[in-house]
Amino acid sequence: MCPRPALVKSRSALVRSAAGGNTPGMAAWTSGWTTMILSCAWLTSCAASIEGPTTASARRSPFVLVLGIAQDAGYPQTACRRACCAAVAADPARRRLVAGIAIVDPQSSERWIIDCTPDFGEQLLLLDAVAPPAMDRDGFASQPLLEGIFLTHAHIGHYTGLMELGREATGATRVPVYAMPRMRSFLERNGPWRQLVELGNVELRPLAAETPVALNERIRVTPLVVPHRDEYSETVGFRINGPGRSILYLPDIDKWERWERSIEEEVKRVDVALLDGTFFSGDELGGRDMAEVPHPSVRESMERLSTLPPAERAKVRFIHLNHTNPLLDVDGEAMREVRGRGFGVAAQGEVMGLGRLLE
């Protein structure tokens, strides 16, 4: 039974448009048991009335929900009048939110997010549609907004949604925000973030490189330091380990060669690897110098990882797509190339299980 039908309907519409173009028909398992994409049928129904193997699996075991797939500036990007974004202005269903993920444990109803993007408000609606918070009889959530927020770094797409926790907005109470030392000090020393700390809207919690944080007895999250521009903070990716499966989330890195770790080995250690796919190729920025914003292009990454066996390549799903990236067109030539080489692209609204097989 749906407790709040009007709200559920609008949330479902949000998820449906977010997942549009990626999800034909009922829940589709895109790589065996590791990945599920929310079905259109599911999205138009009430979450509380769902039955079926995929949703049952998602309910019992922890899972990751993809909240957005775009680079920091979103899609469309502000003031872009070129074809890449003009097409989206005419078709809002193709819009994509800034890259971020949620971790959900249905057993405990706990919810965490990695990165707090400028699209935080809409992403919370998306999360609520998939994993609704417990409500009291007056229609207020009877659990914390979130059990925690993990931050990768201090570029605009990854932390500025924190402002929604302040007194002008939700006026949140002591939301745990996990950050590395420089990131923490950046938030403590600079307004408006400092005010969130002083007013107790957030509670900063330390992260240390390679040191796992236990979210509960079933899930742990480990920060991995990566080379990035690092003007205001260090940059990390996260490995998320559930009771049966694990996911690597690494939306920003300068170049694989500058990382002390081997990306091939990191892919082998997990079941799904969400990797920096900012640019598809090296000629996307028009007149701008690509060296100013170094990332491994999707083509470079595919070349480097081409020696991996097919089962390893199938774990890779590119995310954090710049507005110029042709992979934003799910039916385009670039998407066919990526799939043809055995890789994938993350979809907004996609659910990835962290539990054991058939759990």
Nearer to Zn ion, 63 or 256 (CB): 256
| Residue 295 touching Zn ion (CB under 5 A) | no
Nearer to Zn ion, 154 or 272 (CB): 154
Nearer to Zn ion, 236 or 347 (CB): 236
| Residue 37 touching Zn ion (CB under 5 A) | no
Hey, CA dihedral for 245, 248, 249, 251, is it positive or negative?
Answer: negative
Nearer to Zn ion, 72 or 122 (CB): 72
**Of the candidates 7, 46, 56, 80, which one interacts with Zn ion according to CB under 5 A?**
80
| Residue 252 touching Zn ion (CB under 5 A) | yes
Q: And the tokens for 275?
A: 């990797």
Point out which span in 78-86, 142-150, 201-209, 311-319 binds Zn ion (CB under 5 A): 78-86
CB of 51 to Zn ion, least distance (A): 38
Nearer to Zn ion, 245 or 323 (CB): 323
Taking Cα atoms as reference points, which of 88, 60, 38, 104 lies closest to residue 357?
60
CB of 151 to Zn ion, least distance (A): 11
Hey, CA dihedral for 174, 177, 180, 183, is it positive or negative?
Answer: negative
- Total of chain residues touching Zn ion, rule CB under 5 A: 9
> What count of other Cβ atoms lies within 10 Å of the Cβ of residue 37?
23
190-194, long-range: CB < 8 A, 24+ apart: 192/163, 192/166, 193/159, 193/162
| Amino acid symbol at 145 | L
Site string for Zn ion, 140-169 (x = CB under 5 A): ---------------x-x------------
**Of the candidates 15, 22, 72, 126, which one interacts with Zn ion according to CB under 5 A?**
72
Nearer to Zn ion, 63 or 318 (CB): 318
- Distant-in-sequence, close-in-space partners of 149: CB < 8 Å, separation ≥ 6: 112, 113, 114, 115, 116, 162, 175, 176, 177, 178, 202
| Residue 323 touching Zn ion (CB under 5 A) | yes
CA 2, CA 8: separation in Å to the nearest integer?
8
Nearer to Zn ion, 72 or 266 (CB): 72
CB of 276 to Zn ion, least distance (A): 8
| Residue 85 touching Zn ion (CB under 5 A) | yes
| Residue 84 touching Zn ion (CB under 5 A) | yes
CB of 235 to Zn ion, least distance (A): 6
CB of 334 to Zn ion, least distance (A): 15
The residues binding Zn ion (CB under 5 A) are 72, 77, 80, 84-85, 155, 157, 252, 323
